[in-house]
């Protein structure tokens, strides 16, 4: 149980990091990917990567 709570804390930290999408780099992208993987466990990696590419495009506009 304690291990699960630790994981939740890590996710919160990751979410905090991804507030400014315009300054996004590979580390942030990986964090978002992990987050999406948790939110949509049944989703295939390919469609998650497509979601990530949308994030990247948003970041490049700024």
pLDDT tens-digit profile of 1-60? 455 555 555 555 555 554 555 555 555 666 667 777 777 777 676 776 776 667 666 555
**How much is the pLDDT for 35?**
74
**How much is the pLDDT for 37?**
73
**How much is the pLDDT for 62?**
40
- The model's pTM: 0.29
Terminal alpha carbon distance of the chain? 41
């Amino acid at each position: 149980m304690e291990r699960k709570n630790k994981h939740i804390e890590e996710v919160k930290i990751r979410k905090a990091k991804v507030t400014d999408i315009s300054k996004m780099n590979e580390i942030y992208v990986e964090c978002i990917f992990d987050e999406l993987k948790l939110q949509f466990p049944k989703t295939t990696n390919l469609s998650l990567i497509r979601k990530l590419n949308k994030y990247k495009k948003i970041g490049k506009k700024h």
